[in-house]
Structure 1
Amino acid sequence: MRRVLLASLATALAATAGYSALNLSSEADAAATLPPTHAKFDYQIGGAYTPPAGVQVVTRDWTASPAAGLYNICYINAFQAQPGDEGSWSSDLLLRDASGKIVYDADWGEALLDLRTADKRSRIAAKVNGWTNTCASKGYKAIEPDNYDSYTRSKNLLTASQAKSYLTLLATYAHSKNLAIGQKNTVELASSRTSIGLDFAVAEECGQYDECGDYVQYFGNNVIVIEYTNSGRTKACSAYGSTLSIVQRDVDVSTPGSSGYVRKTC
Protein backbone atom coordinates (compact mmCIF):
# COMPACT_ATOMS: atom_id res chain seq x y z
CA MET A 1 0.00 0.00 0.00
CA ARG A 2 1.19 3.51 -0.64
CA ARG A 3 2.84 5.03 2.39
CA VAL A 4 2.28 8.54 1.01
CA LEU A 5 1.77 10.01 4.46
CA LEU A 6 5.09 8.84 5.87
CA ALA A 7 6.97 11.52 7.73
CA SER A 8 10.52 12.16 6.71
CA LEU A 9 12.99 9.84 8.42
CA ALA A 10 16.64 10.26 8.54
CA THR A 11 22.14 10.58 2.27
CA ALA A 12 25.15 8.75 1.87
CA LEU A 13 26.63 7.00 -1.15
CA ALA A 14 26.96 3.25 -0.80
CA ALA A 15 30.27 2.26 0.70
CA THR A 16 32.18 -0.79 -0.43
CA ALA A 17 30.74 -2.74 2.48
CA GLY A 18 27.28 -1.77 1.41
CA TYR A 19 27.85 -3.12 -2.03
CA SER A 20 29.34 -6.36 -0.75
CA ALA A 21 26.09 -6.94 1.10
CA LEU A 22 24.40 -7.18 -2.28
CA ASN A 23 25.84 -10.65 -2.74
CA LEU A 24 23.29 -13.30 -1.88
CA SER A 25 24.43 -15.06 1.24
CA SER A 26 23.36 -18.67 0.83
CA GLU A 27 22.82 -21.35 -1.78
CA ALA A 28 19.07 -20.90 -1.40
CA ASP A 29 19.41 -17.20 -2.17
CA ALA A 30 21.60 -17.86 -5.19
CA ALA A 31 18.67 -19.23 -7.19
CA ALA A 32 16.74 -15.95 -6.82
CA THR A 33 17.13 -13.44 -9.66
CA LEU A 34 17.12 -9.79 -8.61
CA PRO A 35 15.36 -7.09 -10.63
CA PRO A 36 17.61 -5.40 -13.18
CA THR A 37 18.93 -2.11 -11.87
CA HIS A 38 18.22 1.28 -13.48
CA ALA A 39 15.38 -0.35 -15.42
CA LYS A 40 12.20 1.19 -16.78
CA PHE A 41 9.59 0.34 -14.17
CA ASP A 42 5.81 0.43 -13.78
CA TYR A 43 3.83 0.07 -10.57
CA GLN A 44 0.51 -1.64 -11.31
CA ILE A 45 -0.83 -2.70 -7.90
CA GLY A 46 -4.06 -0.82 -8.53
CA GLY A 47 -4.85 -2.88 -11.62
CA ALA A 48 -2.95 -4.71 -14.35
CA TYR A 49 -2.65 -3.23 -17.85
CA THR A 50 -0.37 -3.48 -20.86
CA PRO A 51 2.99 -2.04 -19.74
CA PRO A 52 4.16 1.10 -21.54
CA ALA A 53 6.77 0.60 -24.25
CA GLY A 54 10.25 -0.07 -22.92
CA VAL A 55 9.19 -1.15 -19.44
CA GLN A 56 11.35 -3.98 -18.10
CA VAL A 57 10.05 -4.43 -14.54
CA VAL A 58 6.44 -4.47 -13.34
CA THR A 59 4.88 -4.89 -9.90
CA ARG A 60 1.38 -6.36 -9.76
CA ASP A 61 -0.89 -7.68 -7.01
CA TRP A 62 -0.51 -11.38 -6.22
CA THR A 63 -4.04 -12.01 -7.51
CA ALA A 64 -3.06 -10.74 -10.99
CA SER A 65 -1.13 -12.50 -13.72
CA PRO A 66 2.43 -11.35 -14.48
CA ALA A 67 3.24 -9.38 -17.62
CA ALA A 68 4.65 -11.64 -20.31
CA GLY A 69 8.34 -11.29 -21.05
CA LEU A 70 9.14 -8.88 -18.21
CA TYR A 71 10.61 -9.12 -14.72
CA ASN A 72 7.54 -9.30 -12.47
CA ILE A 73 7.36 -8.47 -8.77
CA CYS A 74 4.42 -9.85 -6.80
CA TYR A 75 2.83 -7.43 -4.33
CA ILE A 76 1.56 -8.90 -1.05
CA ASN A 77 -0.04 -7.00 1.84
CA ALA A 78 1.87 -9.03 4.41
CA PHE A 79 1.54 -7.09 7.66
CA GLN A 80 -2.06 -5.88 7.49
CA ALA A 81 -5.41 -7.26 6.34
CA GLN A 82 -6.93 -5.82 3.20
CA PRO A 83 -9.81 -3.39 3.87
CA GLY A 84 -12.88 -5.35 4.95
CA ASP A 85 -10.96 -8.62 4.90
CA GLU A 86 -10.70 -9.14 8.65
CA GLY A 87 -13.01 -12.14 8.45
CA SER A 88 -10.49 -14.13 6.44
CA TRP A 89 -8.07 -14.08 9.38
CA SER A 90 -8.33 -15.95 12.67
CA SER A 91 -9.64 -13.51 15.23
CA ASP A 92 -6.59 -13.81 17.47
CA LEU A 93 -4.26 -12.89 14.62
CA LEU A 94 -5.72 -9.39 14.38
CA LEU A 95 -3.93 -6.91 16.63
CA ARG A 96 -6.15 -5.70 19.46
CA ASP A 97 -5.68 -3.01 22.08
CA ALA A 98 -6.22 -3.42 25.82
CA SER A 99 -9.99 -3.05 25.38
CA GLY A 100 -10.10 -5.75 22.71
CA LYS A 101 -10.63 -3.38 19.79
CA ILE A 102 -8.87 -4.12 16.52
CA VAL A 103 -6.05 -1.70 15.75
CA TYR A 104 -6.32 -0.20 12.27
CA ASP A 105 -4.11 1.67 9.88
CA ALA A 106 -6.24 4.79 9.87
CA ASP A 107 -5.04 5.97 6.46
CA TRP A 108 -6.05 2.81 4.61
CA GLY A 109 -8.66 1.15 6.85
CA GLU A 110 -6.59 -1.99 7.26
CA ALA A 111 -6.47 -4.12 10.41
CA LEU A 112 -2.94 -4.71 11.68
CA LEU A 113 -1.81 -8.31 12.14
CA ASP A 114 -0.59 -9.40 15.58
CA LEU A 115 3.13 -10.22 15.44
CA ARG A 116 3.75 -10.28 19.18
CA THR A 117 4.50 -14.00 19.64
CA ALA A 118 6.51 -16.53 17.69
CA ASP A 119 3.41 -18.72 17.33
CA LYS A 120 1.34 -15.92 15.83
CA ARG A 121 4.14 -14.87 13.50
CA SER A 122 4.43 -18.46 12.32
CA ARG A 123 0.68 -18.79 11.71
CA ILE A 124 0.48 -15.48 9.86
CA ALA A 125 3.52 -16.39 7.77
CA ALA A 126 1.92 -19.71 6.85
CA LYS A 127 -1.02 -17.90 5.27
CA VAL A 128 1.09 -15.24 3.57
CA ASN A 129 3.47 -17.88 2.26
CA GLY A 130 0.48 -19.44 0.55
CA TRP A 131 0.21 -16.25 -1.47
CA THR A 132 3.94 -16.50 -2.17
CA ASN A 133 3.29 -19.98 -3.55
CA THR A 134 0.73 -18.46 -5.91
CA CYS A 135 3.26 -15.84 -7.01
CA ALA A 136 5.83 -18.53 -7.74
CA SER A 137 3.40 -20.74 -9.62
CA LYS A 138 2.34 -17.82 -11.83
CA GLY A 139 5.92 -17.07 -12.80
CA TYR A 140 6.73 -14.00 -10.71
CA LYS A 141 10.42 -13.51 -9.93
CA ALA A 142 10.14 -11.62 -6.63
CA ILE A 143 7.75 -10.60 -3.89
CA GLU A 144 7.10 -7.21 -2.33
CA PRO A 145 5.65 -7.68 1.17
CA ASP A 146 4.02 -4.40 2.16
CA ASN A 147 3.53 -2.63 5.49
CA TYR A 148 6.78 -3.69 7.13
CA ASP A 149 6.33 -0.49 9.14
CA SER A 150 2.99 -1.52 10.67
CA TYR A 151 4.64 -1.44 14.09
CA THR A 152 4.83 2.36 13.81
CA ARG A 153 1.01 2.46 13.64
CA SER A 154 0.38 -0.14 16.35
CA LYS A 155 -0.13 2.14 19.37
CA ASN A 156 3.18 0.81 20.66
CA LEU A 157 1.85 -2.76 20.76
CA LEU A 158 4.28 -4.07 18.14
CA THR A 159 8.04 -3.64 17.95
CA ALA A 160 10.59 -3.36 15.17
CA SER A 161 12.19 -6.58 16.42
CA GLN A 162 8.93 -8.47 15.96
CA ALA A 163 8.53 -7.06 12.46
CA LYS A 164 12.05 -8.17 11.53
CA SER A 165 11.54 -11.66 12.96
CA TYR A 166 8.35 -12.07 10.95
CA LEU A 167 9.87 -10.72 7.74
CA THR A 168 12.75 -13.16 8.15
CA LEU A 169 10.22 -16.00 7.96
CA LEU A 170 8.84 -14.58 4.72
CA ALA A 171 12.31 -14.05 3.25
CA THR A 172 13.44 -17.57 4.05
CA TYR A 173 10.34 -19.02 2.43
CA ALA A 174 10.57 -16.76 -0.65
CA HIS A 175 14.14 -17.89 -1.23
CA SER A 176 13.08 -21.52 -0.90
CA LYS A 177 10.80 -20.82 -3.87
CA ASN A 178 13.65 -19.16 -5.81
CA LEU A 179 12.01 -15.75 -5.41
CA ALA A 180 13.83 -12.54 -4.52
CA ILE A 181 12.26 -10.42 -1.79
CA GLY A 182 12.21 -6.66 -1.48
CA GLN A 183 12.13 -4.39 1.54
CA LYS A 184 9.17 -2.04 1.21
CA ASN A 185 9.86 1.39 2.72
CA THR A 186 10.84 1.36 6.44
CA VAL A 187 14.20 2.96 5.77
CA GLU A 188 14.99 3.00 9.49
CA LEU A 189 15.41 -0.80 9.37
CA ALA A 190 17.46 -0.95 6.17
CA SER A 191 20.62 -1.77 8.11
CA SER A 192 19.05 -5.15 8.98
CA ARG A 193 18.58 -6.18 5.35
CA THR A 194 21.38 -8.77 5.34
CA SER A 195 20.39 -10.51 8.57
CA ILE A 196 16.77 -10.73 7.39
CA GLY A 197 17.67 -11.81 3.86
CA LEU A 198 16.30 -8.91 1.80
CA ASP A 199 17.52 -8.56 -1.77
CA PHE A 200 16.37 -5.16 -3.00
CA ALA A 201 14.31 -2.17 -1.85
CA VAL A 202 11.06 -0.58 -3.00
CA ALA A 203 11.06 2.98 -1.73
CA GLU A 204 8.03 5.23 -1.94
CA GLU A 205 8.73 8.96 -1.94
CA CYS A 206 12.38 8.68 -1.02
CA GLY A 207 12.99 11.61 -3.34
CA GLN A 208 10.28 13.66 -1.69
CA TYR A 209 11.71 13.00 1.77
CA ASP A 210 15.44 12.87 0.93
CA GLU A 211 15.74 9.18 1.85
CA CYS A 212 16.98 7.63 -1.40
CA GLY A 213 20.60 7.81 -0.31
CA ASP A 214 19.77 5.90 2.85
CA TYR A 215 18.42 3.01 0.78
CA VAL A 216 21.40 3.16 -1.58
CA GLN A 217 23.73 2.92 1.41
CA TYR A 218 22.44 -0.59 2.16
CA PHE A 219 21.05 -1.83 -1.17
CA GLY A 220 23.38 -0.20 -3.67
CA ASN A 221 21.56 0.38 -6.97
CA ASN A 222 19.03 -2.37 -6.21
CA VAL A 223 16.43 0.26 -5.33
CA ILE A 224 13.11 0.90 -7.06
CA VAL A 225 11.74 4.39 -6.43
CA ILE A 226 8.06 5.34 -6.63
CA GLU A 227 7.13 9.00 -6.32
CA TYR A 228 3.65 10.52 -6.15
CA THR A 229 4.47 14.18 -6.78
CA ASN A 230 6.27 16.10 -9.50
CA SER A 231 8.64 17.58 -6.94
CA GLY A 232 9.53 14.16 -5.54
CA ARG A 233 10.16 12.75 -9.00
CA THR A 234 12.30 15.76 -9.94
CA LYS A 235 14.46 15.38 -6.84
CA ALA A 236 14.85 11.62 -7.26
CA CYS A 237 15.68 11.94 -10.95
CA SER A 238 18.16 14.73 -10.34
CA ALA A 239 20.17 12.71 -7.84
CA TYR A 240 19.61 9.11 -8.97
CA GLY A 241 18.09 9.18 -12.45
CA SER A 242 21.20 7.56 -13.95
CA THR A 243 21.42 4.70 -11.45
CA LEU A 244 18.02 3.75 -9.97
CA SER A 245 14.64 2.65 -11.36
CA ILE A 246 12.32 5.64 -10.84
CA VAL A 247 8.67 6.21 -11.70
CA GLN A 248 5.97 8.66 -10.67
CA ARG A 249 2.46 7.25 -10.26
CA ASP A 250 -0.82 8.63 -8.97
CA VAL A 251 -1.62 7.85 -5.33
CA ASP A 252 -4.40 5.41 -6.28
CA VAL A 253 -2.07 3.65 -8.73
CA SER A 254 -4.91 3.69 -11.24
CA THR A 255 -5.08 2.27 -14.74
CA PRO A 256 -4.78 4.18 -18.03
CA GLY A 257 -8.07 5.83 -18.95
CA SER A 258 -8.88 6.63 -15.34
CA SER A 259 -9.31 10.33 -14.65
CA GLY A 260 -6.46 10.42 -12.12
CA TYR A 261 -3.98 8.24 -13.98
CA VAL A 262 -0.40 9.51 -13.82
CA ARG A 263 2.80 7.86 -14.97
CA LYS A 264 5.97 9.84 -15.48
CA THR A 265 9.66 8.92 -15.52
CA CYS A 266 13.00 10.71 -15.54
Structure 2
Amino acid sequence: MKRPVLLAALLLLLAGCSTATEEHKESGRARWQPRPGVAWQWQLSGRLDTSVDVPVYDIDGFDHEKAAVTALHRKGRKVICYLSTGAWEEFRPDAKRFPKSVLGRGNGWQGERWLDIRRTDVLEPLMADRLDMCRRKGFDAVEPDNMDGYRNNTGFPLKAADQLRYNRLVARLAHERGMAVGLKNDLGQIPVLVGDFDFAVDEQCAQYDECERLKPFIAAGKAVFHVEYELPTSRFCAEARRLKLSSMLKKYDLDAWRRPC
Protein backbone atom coordinates (compact mmCIF):
# COMPACT_ATOMS: atom_id res chain seq x y z
CA MET A 1 0.00 0.00 0.00
CA LYS A 2 2.85 2.41 0.70
CA ARG A 3 4.60 1.96 -2.63
CA PRO A 4 1.84 3.52 -4.77
CA VAL A 5 1.69 6.45 -2.35
CA LEU A 6 5.46 6.92 -2.50
CA LEU A 7 5.39 6.57 -6.28
CA ALA A 8 2.65 9.16 -6.55
CA ALA A 9 4.58 11.50 -4.29
CA LEU A 10 7.68 11.01 -6.40
CA LEU A 11 5.77 11.73 -9.60
CA LEU A 12 4.34 14.88 -8.06
CA LEU A 13 7.80 15.96 -6.97
CA LEU A 14 9.19 15.41 -10.46
CA ALA A 15 6.24 17.26 -11.95
CA GLY A 16 6.93 20.15 -9.60
CA CYS A 17 10.57 20.22 -10.66
CA SER A 18 9.51 20.16 -14.29
CA THR A 19 7.09 23.02 -13.70
CA ALA A 20 9.77 25.02 -11.92
CA THR A 21 12.13 24.42 -14.82
CA GLU A 22 9.51 25.51 -17.30
CA GLU A 23 8.80 28.62 -15.25
CA HIS A 24 12.53 29.40 -15.22
CA LYS A 25 12.62 29.05 -18.99
CA GLU A 26 9.58 31.24 -19.31
CA SER A 27 11.15 33.92 -17.11
CA GLY A 28 14.25 33.82 -19.28
CA ARG A 29 12.17 34.39 -22.41
CA ALA A 30 10.14 37.07 -20.68
CA ARG A 31 13.01 39.52 -20.29
CA TRP A 32 11.66 42.93 -21.19
CA GLN A 33 12.22 44.01 -24.79
CA PRO A 34 11.32 47.66 -25.49
CA ARG A 35 10.07 48.19 -29.03
CA PRO A 36 10.89 51.01 -31.45
CA GLY A 37 9.03 54.25 -30.86
CA VAL A 38 8.06 53.64 -27.23
CA ALA A 39 7.90 56.92 -25.26
CA TRP A 40 10.18 57.43 -22.27
CA GLN A 41 11.31 59.78 -19.53
CA TRP A 42 14.96 60.18 -18.52
CA GLN A 43 15.49 61.89 -15.17
CA LEU A 44 18.82 61.76 -13.34
CA SER A 45 18.59 64.88 -11.18
CA GLY A 46 16.07 66.68 -8.99
CA ARG A 47 13.05 65.31 -7.18
CA LEU A 48 11.65 62.37 -9.14
CA ASP A 49 8.49 63.33 -11.00
CA THR A 50 6.44 60.18 -11.51
CA SER A 51 3.55 61.96 -13.23
CA VAL A 52 4.89 61.85 -16.80
CA ASP A 53 2.52 59.65 -18.76
CA VAL A 54 4.99 57.38 -20.57
CA PRO A 55 5.60 53.61 -20.45
CA VAL A 56 9.33 53.83 -19.64
CA TYR A 57 11.36 55.66 -17.00
CA ASP A 58 15.16 55.79 -16.83
CA ILE A 59 16.39 56.86 -13.38
CA ASP A 60 19.60 56.72 -11.32
CA GLY A 61 20.13 53.30 -9.75
CA PHE A 62 21.99 54.60 -6.71
CA ASP A 63 19.77 57.59 -5.98
CA HIS A 64 16.47 55.73 -5.81
CA GLU A 65 15.34 52.94 -3.53
CA LYS A 66 13.10 50.01 -4.28
CA ALA A 67 10.03 52.00 -3.21
CA ALA A 68 10.51 54.43 -6.11
CA VAL A 69 10.76 51.59 -8.61
CA THR A 70 7.71 49.91 -7.10
CA ALA A 71 5.73 53.15 -7.30
CA LEU A 72 6.52 53.45 -11.00
CA HIS A 73 5.60 49.81 -11.55
CA ARG A 74 2.23 50.45 -9.95
CA LYS A 75 1.64 53.11 -12.59
CA GLY A 76 2.40 50.58 -15.31
CA ARG A 77 5.93 51.83 -16.06
CA LYS A 78 9.00 49.82 -16.92
CA VAL A 79 12.05 51.21 -15.11
CA ILE A 80 15.66 51.39 -16.32
CA CYS A 81 18.56 51.56 -13.85
CA TYR A 82 21.16 54.17 -14.84
CA LEU A 83 24.73 53.21 -13.87
CA SER A 84 28.16 54.32 -14.97
CA THR A 85 30.07 51.19 -15.91
CA GLY A 86 32.91 52.78 -17.86
CA ALA A 87 33.83 55.65 -15.54
CA TRP A 88 34.52 56.02 -11.82
CA GLU A 89 32.44 58.52 -9.84
CA GLU A 90 33.90 59.82 -6.59
CA PHE A 91 30.45 60.47 -5.11
CA ARG A 92 29.17 56.87 -5.28
CA PRO A 93 29.01 54.79 -2.08
CA ASP A 94 31.30 52.12 -3.55
CA ALA A 95 33.91 54.58 -4.88
CA LYS A 96 36.60 53.46 -2.40
CA ARG A 97 36.40 49.90 -3.69
CA PHE A 98 38.01 50.92 -7.00
CA PRO A 99 41.83 50.72 -6.86
CA LYS A 100 43.74 53.75 -8.14
CA SER A 101 45.37 51.57 -10.79
CA VAL A 102 42.11 51.42 -12.78
CA LEU A 103 41.36 55.16 -12.62
CA GLY A 104 42.30 57.18 -15.68
CA ARG A 105 41.81 60.73 -16.90
CA GLY A 106 38.70 62.78 -16.22
CA ASN A 107 35.83 62.25 -18.63
CA GLY A 108 34.64 65.86 -18.63
CA TRP A 109 32.23 65.60 -15.71
CA GLN A 110 33.24 66.77 -12.25
CA GLY A 111 34.41 63.95 -10.00
CA GLU A 112 34.46 61.34 -12.78
CA ARG A 113 37.39 59.45 -14.33
CA TRP A 114 37.58 56.85 -17.07
CA LEU A 115 38.13 53.24 -16.02
CA ASP A 116 40.69 50.83 -17.41
CA ILE A 117 38.14 48.45 -18.89
CA ARG A 118 40.90 45.96 -19.73
CA ARG A 119 41.02 45.13 -16.00
CA THR A 120 37.99 42.89 -15.95
CA ASP A 121 39.53 40.96 -13.07
CA VAL A 122 38.93 44.06 -10.95
CA LEU A 123 35.85 45.52 -12.59
CA GLU A 124 33.67 42.45 -13.13
CA PRO A 125 32.91 41.83 -9.43
CA LEU A 126 32.35 45.55 -8.85
CA MET A 127 29.90 45.80 -11.74
CA ALA A 128 28.23 42.55 -10.74
CA ASP A 129 27.54 44.07 -7.31
CA ARG A 130 26.08 47.18 -8.90
CA LEU A 131 23.82 45.13 -11.13
CA ASP A 132 22.77 43.05 -8.12
CA MET A 133 21.67 46.34 -6.55
CA CYS A 134 19.53 47.14 -9.60
CA ARG A 135 17.97 43.70 -9.47
CA ARG A 136 17.22 43.93 -5.73
CA LYS A 137 15.46 47.23 -6.28
CA GLY A 138 13.27 45.68 -8.95
CA PHE A 139 14.55 47.44 -12.07
CA ASP A 140 13.56 45.95 -15.42
CA ALA A 141 16.66 47.04 -17.31
CA VAL A 142 20.04 48.75 -17.07
CA GLU A 143 21.50 51.75 -18.87
CA PRO A 144 25.28 51.34 -18.52
CA ASP A 145 26.99 54.66 -19.24
CA ASN A 146 30.45 55.54 -20.61
CA MET A 147 30.59 52.49 -22.86
CA ASP A 148 32.83 54.06 -25.51
CA GLY A 149 36.07 54.77 -23.66
CA TYR A 150 38.19 53.47 -26.51
CA ARG A 151 37.15 56.52 -28.56
CA ASN A 152 38.25 58.94 -25.82
CA ASN A 153 41.44 60.14 -24.16
CA THR A 154 41.13 57.88 -21.13
CA GLY A 155 44.78 57.66 -20.10
CA PHE A 156 44.84 54.00 -21.14
CA PRO A 157 45.69 52.51 -24.56
CA LEU A 158 42.21 51.09 -25.06
CA LYS A 159 41.41 49.38 -28.33
CA ALA A 160 38.11 48.55 -30.00
CA ALA A 161 38.57 44.90 -29.02
CA ASP A 162 38.86 45.91 -25.36
CA GLN A 163 35.59 47.80 -25.61
CA LEU A 164 33.79 44.93 -27.30
CA ARG A 165 34.92 42.51 -24.62
CA TYR A 166 33.90 44.82 -21.80
CA ASN A 167 30.55 45.82 -23.27
CA ARG A 168 29.65 42.19 -23.81
CA LEU A 169 30.66 41.45 -20.23
CA VAL A 170 28.28 44.13 -18.93
CA ALA A 171 25.49 42.81 -21.17
CA ARG A 172 26.04 39.27 -19.91
CA LEU A 173 25.99 40.35 -16.28
CA ALA A 174 22.68 42.15 -16.80
CA HIS A 175 21.10 39.25 -18.65
CA GLU A 176 22.20 36.77 -16.01
CA ARG A 177 20.16 38.83 -13.56
CA GLY A 178 17.07 38.82 -15.77
CA MET A 179 17.36 42.46 -16.81
CA ALA A 180 17.43 44.01 -20.26
CA VAL A 181 20.44 46.17 -21.09
CA GLY A 182 21.07 49.10 -23.42
CA LEU A 183 24.09 50.06 -25.52
CA LYS A 184 25.03 53.67 -24.76
CA ASN A 185 26.48 55.88 -27.52
CA ASP A 186 28.93 53.30 -28.90
CA LEU A 187 27.80 53.91 -32.47
CA GLY A 188 30.86 52.44 -34.18
CA GLN A 189 30.30 49.00 -32.67
CA ILE A 190 26.53 48.76 -33.18
CA PRO A 191 26.78 46.28 -36.09
CA VAL A 192 28.57 43.72 -33.91
CA LEU A 193 26.84 44.49 -30.60
CA VAL A 194 23.19 44.83 -31.61
CA GLY A 195 22.67 41.13 -30.88
CA ASP A 196 24.08 41.47 -27.36
CA PHE A 197 21.90 44.40 -26.28
CA ASP A 198 18.14 44.87 -25.96
CA PHE A 199 17.95 48.58 -26.81
CA ALA A 200 20.18 51.59 -27.43
CA VAL A 201 20.50 54.93 -25.66
CA ASP A 202 21.88 57.80 -27.73
CA GLU A 203 22.73 61.43 -27.09
CA GLN A 204 22.82 64.01 -29.88
CA CYS A 205 22.87 61.77 -32.94
CA ALA A 206 20.87 64.42 -34.82
CA GLN A 207 23.28 67.21 -33.91
CA TYR A 208 26.19 65.16 -35.25
CA ASP A 209 24.26 63.65 -38.19
CA GLU A 210 24.63 60.09 -36.90
CA CYS A 211 21.08 58.83 -36.36
CA GLU A 212 21.17 56.55 -39.40
CA ARG A 213 23.85 54.52 -37.65
CA LEU A 214 21.24 53.41 -35.09
CA LYS A 215 19.07 51.69 -37.69
CA PRO A 216 20.31 48.15 -36.90
CA PHE A 217 18.54 48.36 -33.53
CA ILE A 218 15.29 49.47 -35.14
CA ALA A 219 15.59 46.75 -37.79
CA ALA A 220 15.98 44.21 -34.99
CA GLY A 221 12.78 45.44 -33.33
CA LYS A 222 14.69 47.10 -30.47
CA ALA A 223 14.03 50.60 -29.14
CA VAL A 224 16.45 53.50 -29.53
CA PHE A 225 16.04 55.98 -26.68
CA HIS A 226 17.37 59.27 -28.01
CA VAL A 227 17.83 62.80 -26.66
CA GLU A 228 19.07 66.10 -28.01
CA TYR A 229 20.20 69.00 -25.86
CA GLU A 230 20.97 71.86 -28.21
CA LEU A 231 18.72 71.42 -31.24
CA PRO A 232 15.06 72.51 -31.20
CA THR A 233 12.56 69.73 -31.82
CA SER A 234 11.83 71.22 -35.24
CA ARG A 235 15.35 70.23 -36.26
CA PHE A 236 15.21 66.54 -35.36
CA CYS A 237 11.71 65.21 -34.69
CA ALA A 238 10.75 64.60 -38.31
CA GLU A 239 13.79 62.40 -38.85
CA ALA A 240 13.28 60.74 -35.49
CA ARG A 241 9.75 59.77 -36.42
CA ARG A 242 10.92 58.47 -39.80
CA LEU A 243 13.55 56.30 -38.12
CA LYS A 244 11.15 55.25 -35.31
CA LEU A 245 13.42 56.63 -32.59
CA SER A 246 12.10 57.40 -29.10
CA SER A 247 13.24 61.01 -29.14
CA MET A 248 12.94 64.08 -26.93
CA LEU A 249 14.66 67.34 -26.07
CA LYS A 250 16.21 67.47 -22.60
CA LYS A 251 18.41 69.81 -20.56
CA TYR A 252 21.99 68.72 -19.85
CA ASP A 253 21.27 68.22 -16.14
CA LEU A 254 18.54 65.69 -17.04
CA ASP A 255 15.97 66.96 -14.60
CA ALA A 256 12.25 66.30 -15.04
CA TRP A 257 11.77 68.76 -17.92
CA ARG A 258 11.26 67.19 -21.34
CA ARG A 259 9.92 68.08 -24.75
CA PRO A 260 9.11 64.87 -26.66
CA CYS A 261 8.73 64.49 -30.40
Whether the TM-score (by the shorter chain) exceeds 0.5 is: yes
User: What residue is the counterpart of 2:123 in the other structure?
Assistant: 124
Per-residue displacement from partner, 1:9-67 (whole Å, max 9, x unpaired)? xxxxxxxxxxxxxxxxx999634211243122110122452234421111011121322
Q: Does 1:160 align with 2:155?
A: no
User: What residue is the counterpart of 1:13 in the other structure?
Assistant: none
User: What residue is the counterpart of 1:22 in the other structure?
Assistant: none
Rg larger for: 2
Distance 1:175 1:208, change over 3 A: same
Instruction: Name the SS of the counterpart of 1:76 in structure 2.
Output: strand
Give the distance between the partners of 1:53 and 1:126, measured in 2 at CA: 35
Q: CA deviation at 1:174?
A: 0.9
Q: CA deviation at 1:240?
A: 2.1
Gaps of 5+ in 2: 1-24
Gaps of 5+ in 1: 1-25, 96-102, 256-261
Instruction: Name the SS of the counterpart of 1:174 in structure 2.
Output: helix
Query: Structure 1: which amino acid aligns with 2:101?
Result: D
Give the distance between the partners of 2:166 and 2:26, measured in 1 at CA: 21
Give the distance between the partners of 1:51 and 1:207, measured in 2 at CA: 28
Instruction: Name the SS of the counterpart of 1:154 in structure 2.
Output: coil
Are the equivalent residues in 1 in contact too, given 2:107–2:113 (CA < 8 A)? yes
User: What residue is the counterpart of 2:193 in the other structure?
Assistant: 193
| Alignment coverage as a number of residue pairs | 223
Q: Does 1:75 align with 2:89?
A: no
Query: Structure 2: which amino acid aligns with 1:149?
Result: D
User: What residue is the counterpart of 1:215 in the other structure?
Assistant: 214
Per-residue displacement from partner, 1:141-183 (whole Å, max 9, x unpaired)? 1101100112222246212211211111111111111111100
User: What residue is the counterpart of 1:265 in the other structure?
Assistant: 260
Are the equivalent residues in 1 in contact too, given 2:38–2:223 (CA < 8 A)? no
Q: Does 1:87 align with 2:96?
A: yes
Are the equivalent residues in 2 in contact too, given 1:48–1:60 (CA < 8 A)? no
Distance 1:144 1:53, change over 3 A: closer
Give the distance between the partners of 2:59 and 2:206, measured in 1 at CA: 22
After the TM superposition, which residues 1-266 of structure 1 pair with which residues of structure 2 at under 5 Å, given as runs?
Answer: 30-47=29-46, 49-63=48-62, 64=64, 65-66=68-69, 67-68=72-73, 69-83=76-90, 87-95=96-104, 103-116=105-118, 120-151=119-150, 152-155=152-155, 157-194=157-194, 197-220=196-219, 222-231=223-232, 233-241=233-241, 243-255=244-256, 262-266=257-261
Give the distance between the partners of 1:173 and 1:159, measured in 2 at CA: 22
Are the equivalent residues in 2 in contact too, given 1:206–1:227 (CA < 8 A)? yes
Q: CA deviation at 1:194?
A: 4.0
Q: CA deviation at 1:191?
A: 1.3
Give the distance between the partners of 2:129 and 2:91, measured in 1 at CA: 20
User: What residue is the counterpart of 1:16 in the other structure?
Assistant: none
Query: Structure 2: which amino acid aligns with 1:129?
Result: A
Instruction: Name the SS of the counterpart of 1:112 in structure 2.
Output: strand
Q: CA deviation at 1:189?
A: 1.3
Distance 1:254 1:54, change over 3 A: closer
Give the distance between the partners of 1:156 and 1:162, measured in 2 at CA: 11
Give the distance between the partners of 1:106 and 1:203, measured in 2 at CA: 18
Q: Using the TM superposition, name which of 83-92 and 71-80 deviates more.
A: 83-92
Higher relative contact order, structure no. (Cα contacts within 8 Å, ≥ 6 residues apart): 1
Give the distance between the partners of 1:228 and 1:81, measured in 2 at CA: 24
Q: CA deviation at 1:200?
A: 0.9
Are the equivalent residues in 2 in contact too, given 1:45–1:253 (CA < 8 A)? yes
RMSD (Å) for aligned C-alpha atoms: 2.4
Instruction: Name the SS of the counterpart of 1:252 in structure 2.
Output: coil
Give the distance between the partners of 2:27 and 2:188, measured in 1 at CA: 27
Q: CA deviation at 1:109?
A: 4.0
Are the equivalent residues in 1 in contact too, given 2:116–2:156 (CA < 8 A)? no
Give the distance between the partners of 2:158 and 2:113, measured in 1 at CA: 13
Q: CA deviation at 1:107?
A: 4.2
Instruction: Name the SS of the counterpart of 1:191 in structure 2.
Output: helix
Per-residue displacement from partner, 1:207-257 (whole Å, max 9, x unpaired)? 2222121112344352111111243x33331112262211211101124xx
Query: Structure 1: which amino acid aligns with 2:131?
Result: T
Distance 1:48 1:184, change over 3 A: farther
